[in-house]
Amino acid sequence: MSNIKLTVNGKPTSTEVEDRTLLVHLLRDHLGLTGTHIGCDTSQCGACTVHIDGRSVKSCTVLVGQANGSSITTIEGIAKGDELHPMQAAFRDNHGLQCGYCTPGMIMASIDIVNRHGPDLDEATLRQELEGNICRCTGYHNIVKSVLDAAGRMKVTQAAE
């Protein structure tokens, strides 16, 4: 057992868990943050994507000890109260989801992509970067449309801050 200290969605958290615990299980089973989905258990689908210290990571590949002392952001932590994050709003407005199972991971990965590439992100780069996130319901058209829309929205949001 290890005492793990994290900041999760801006709140300091300390918990005792087995060393072999995966971050995805800590988030879901111990902290009740079930927006982080388990889709494959093999790191192929990206449904479990969260941010560790601002970078997207598949949480099914991270042991909690590796994240000890880090800041974790899940899908539950990106909105500001009732105001959706620009990426969430763009997914809603552009119909970037169907069943919604992959959506939290897709949104978290997309935020990181836009943060790294900026508002002038092109479709080819976006499609290449999203290869690690699988959606079984859509043809990705509306997901790509959503992310490109959000890139512009995030630019406005970042400029205002």
Number of domains in the chain: 2
User: What is the domain range of residue 9?
Assistant: 2-77
77, 110, 134: which is the final residue of a domain? 77
- Binned at pLDDT 50, 70 and 90, residue 42 comes out as confident
24, 49, 77: which is the final residue of a domain? 77
DSSP string, 38-93: -S-SSSSS-TTEEEETTEEEEGGG-BHHHHTT-EEE-GGGSSBTTBPPHHHHHHHH
Residues 104 and 52 in one domain: no
Q: What is the pTM of this model?
A: 0.94
pLDDT single digits (tens) 112-132: 999 999 999 999 999 999 999
- Binned at pLDDT 50, 70 and 90, residue 47 comes out as very high
